Amino acid sequence: MAEITFDDYPFLAELGIEKSSLGCFHGSWVAGGSEIPCICPHTGKIISYVKQATAEDLEVCLSKAEEAKNVWMMTPTPVRGEIIRQIGDALRAKKESLGKLVSLVMGKILSEGLGEIQEFIDICDYALGLSRQLEGKILPSERAKHVLMEVWNPLGVIGVISAFNFPAAVYGWNLAIALVCGNCVVWKGASSTSLISIAVTKVISEVFAKNGYPEGIITMVVGPGGSVGEALMSDNRIRLLSFTGSTSIGRHVSQVVHNRFGRTILELGGNNAAIVMDDADIEIALRSCVFAAVGTAGQRCTSLRRLLIHESLYESFKERLIAAYSTVRIGDPLDPINLMGPLHTQAAVKEFTDGIETIKAQGGTIVRGGCVVERPGFYVEPTIVEINHNAPIVREELFVPILYLIKFKTLDEAIAINNEVPQGLASGLFTMNMRNMWQWLGPKGSDCGLVNVNMATSGAEIGGAFGGEKETGEGRESGSDSWKQYMRRSTCAINFSTTLALAQGVQFNIS
C-alpha cells in the first residue's frame, strides 16, 4: 500500500509523529506487540506504523498507576487543578497541529478537527473551576450534637476506552474530570486513530514531567481489544471503565466490568431523531438538520438519522433539504472549503453500501445520493431516504451519512416515533409553540438523554452532562455533576456530645 509524504504534512513532525511509533506509554515509550498501519481515510494511503502494546505492557501501566495514585490522590485538589490548567495551555499551544492531525487521521473536516481540540481545552478549563468547588453536603441530624456529612474521595485508577470518531475529545472529558477528582487514568484509544493517542499523550505527559510528578498518573496503550481491551475490562484495579463504542461491544463491556462489581460509563449507539413542527423556524431547522446529518460524514454518536417532518410542510422541506445537500462540498478534510470528508475506513464504506441495499429491500426510496464516490479514499455521497418508520433498518444505527425522512401528523405521533427505537441519546424539536416545547421536555416527551429545542441532535456543550438512555448505555460524561461518578462517597456521622444517642429513638441500655 502506498504511503503519504511527510513533507506534505509538516504538523506531523511538530507533534513528534514518526514513520514508526511505539504504542504504549507509562513514563517511557515501549511496545512489544505487532505493528499496524495508520491509514489516511482521504487517500487510502498509510500515514505511518504503530507497534501495539501487549497485555504485559498494560500490566506495567496498571502497576505504575497503582503506585502513582498514592501521590496524586493526596495532592491538594486546587493543585491538581493547576496541573490541568497547564494541560489546557499545552493543548492551546498545539491546537492547530492537533486539529489537523484529527482531520488527517480520522477524516472529519478541519473546523471539526480544531473544534475537537477546543473541546478538550474547554473541559480543562471546566475542571480547573471544579478544583475549587468539589463539594459534599452537610445534612441535619435528628440527634442532638451530631453532624451528618458527605465526604468524596478518589476511586484510584480509571480506564478509558475511546472510539475513532472523537479520538481526542472523549478522552479529554474523562481525563480532566478524573484527574481533578484525584484519579490516575489508563487510556486505550481506537487503534485506527492511534497517532492521535500518541500525540495527545506526548503533550500531556510533558506537563507532568515538568512538574515532577511520578510516572503512572497518565498511561496509554494502543492494542487489540481481544487481549489488551479484555485485560483492561477484567482488572480489579480499574475501578471505573468509561467505554465509547457500539452497543454490541458495550453490552459485553458492561457484563465483564459489572461481574467484578466495577463501575462503567457507557456511550453507545445513538440513532437520533429531530422533529420539524408546522410552526418551526424553517431556516434554523434546515441548517441545523443538514449539519447534524452530514457533519463528520454521519459518524457522530449524535448524528441525525431520522428526520420527522410535519405533513403540511413535508414536500417543501424535502425539496429544500435536497437543494441544501447539493451545496455540501465533499473532499480533502484539511481543505477549509469542504464541508464533508471521507468515511473513516473501507469497512464503513461497505456498511454504507450494504445499508443502501437493505433500505431498498425494506421499501425505502433513495431521493438523494446513495452512491460511493469514485475517487481515492473512503468517500460516499450524503444520502436522503424516504422510508416507513416501521422498517426494521430504521431501528438500527448505520454509522454513515444516511438520513431517513418520515412524515407525521401530530406531535404525539412524532414523539412516539422518536421513542420507539432501542437507542436514546439525542433528540431535537423545532417549534415556536411553548406548549409543544414543554410536552417534549416532560415525562411523556423525548426519552433521550439529550433533549433539544430549536436545535437538532449534534453540538453538545461541555457544561451539561452528556449521555443517553436505553441501549445508548449508562452514566454521564463532561459537565453538571458527572464528577460524582469518578469518586466514592462516604456518609459520615459525627457525635460531638457526651452521650450516645441512637437513630430513630432506639433504646439499647446496658449495665
CATH code assigned at 485: 3.40.605.10
Catalytic one among 112, 267, 397, 477? 267
Q: Which residues of 454-481 are buried (b: 16+ CB within 10 A; e: fewer)?
A: ebbbbbbebeebbbbbbbbbbbbbbbee
Whether residue 36 lies inside any domain: the answer is: yes
pLDDT digits (tens, 9 = 90+) for 299-323: 999 999 999 999 999 999 999 999 9
- Residues 213 and 354 grouped into a single domain: no
Q: Which residues of 256-266 are buried (b: 16+ CB within 10 A; e: fewer)?
A: bbeeeebbbbb
Residues 110 and 333: their CA atoms lie apart, in Å, by 6
- Residues 234 and 299 grouped into a single domain: no
Contacts of 413 (CB under 8 A, 6+ apart): none
- Residues 232 and 286 grouped into a single domain: no
Whether residue 494 lies inside any domain: the answer is: no
Cell numbers for 258, please give them: 459489572
Tell me if residue 267 is catalytic: yes
Whether residue 501 lies inside any domain: the answer is: no
Q: Is 490 helix (H, G, I), strand (E, B) or coil?
A: strand
Q: Can you give the pLDDT at residue 511?
A: 80
Q: Is the dihedral of CA 170, 175, 180, 182 positive or negative?
A: positive
State which residues of the chain have pLDDT below 70.
Answer: none
- Residues 294 and 382 grouped into a single domain: yes
- Residues 154 and 168 grouped into a single domain: yes
| Residue linked to cell 449507539 | 269
The count of other CB atoms within 10 Å of the CB of residue 143 is 17
CATH code assigned at 377: 3.40.309.10
- Residues 319 and 457 grouped into a single domain: yes
Q: CA angle at residue 63 from 57 to 67, to 5 degrees? A: 145
Residues 375 and 367: their CA atoms lie apart, in Å, by 22
Q: Can you give the pLDDT at residue 1?
A: 81
Give me the number of domains the chain comprises: 2
- Residues 278 and 323 grouped into a single domain: yes
- Residues 403 and 322 grouped into a single domain: yes
Q: Kindly report the backbone phi and psi dihedral angles of residue 115, in degrees, each rounded to the nearest multiple of 5, phi listed first.
A: -65, -35
* Parallel/antiparallel/unpaired status of strands 426-430 and 272-276: parallel
- Residues 229 and 306 grouped into a single domain: no
Whether residue 350 lies inside any domain: the answer is: yes
Q: Label residue 310 exposed, middle or buried (CB < 10 Å: 0-12, 13-18, 19+).
A: buried
Q: Kindly report the backbone phi and psi dihedral angles of residue 218, in degrees, each rounded to the nearest multiple of 5, phi listed first.
A: -125, 130
Cell numbers for 125, please give them: 478549563
- Residues 331 and 436 grouped into a single domain: yes
Contact 107, 100 (CB under 8 A): no
pTM beyond 0.85: yes
CA 95 to mean position of chain CA atoms: 19
Q: CA angle at residue 287 from 286 to 292, to 5 degrees? A: 100
Whether residue 295 lies inside any domain: the answer is: yes
Whether residue 294 lies inside any domain: the answer is: yes
Q: Is 264 helix (H, G, I), strand (E, B) or coil?
A: strand
Using CA atoms of 225, 231, 232, 237 in order, give the dihedral in degrees to the nearest 10: 180
Residues 174 and 186: their CA atoms lie apart, in Å, by 11
Which range of residues forms the domain containing residue 100? 6-268+481-489
Residue 7 to residues 16, 47, 121, 129, 194: CA-CA distances in angstroms? 14, 12, 28, 41, 20
Q: Label residue 79 exposed, middle or buried (CB < 10 Å: 0-12, 13-18, 19+).
A: exposed
pLDDT digits (tens, 9 = 90+) for 207-260: 999 999 999 999 999 999 889 999 999 999 999 999 999 999 999 999 999 999
Whether residue 356 lies inside any domain: the answer is: yes
* Parallel/antiparallel/unpaired status of strands 138-139 and 477-478: unpaired
- Residues 170 and 294 grouped into a single domain: no
Cell numbers for 379, please give them: 468517500
Whether residue 353 lies inside any domain: the answer is: yes
- Residues 84 and 204 grouped into a single domain: yes
